[in-house]
Amino acid sequence: MDGLGKSIMGPSVGARVMVQWSDGKKYPGTVAEIGKNQIRVTMTDGSQHWVPEGYVQAV
């Protein structure tokens, strides 16, 4: 944990997240799998995408 009580390791499988998309907007999703420097996110429409971890933020 950092000084603000947030996990330094990032979100875990099943965690709700916001994904910053190429249009600059953030969209909600759920972590489905964690890979090396990427996170597979299930979006609210059911689609799944591998996203670089820097674009995924836990909520």
Rounded distance between C-alpha atoms, residue 2 and residue 24, angstroms: 27
- Contact yes or no for 52/37 (Cβ under 8 A): yes
Q: pLDDT tens digits, residue range 21-51?
A: 999 999 999 999 999 999 999 999 999 999 9
Domains and CATH numbers, the chain: 16-58 (2.30.30.140)
Give 59's pLDDT tier (boundaries 50, 70, 90): very high
For the entire predicted model, the pTM comes to 0.81
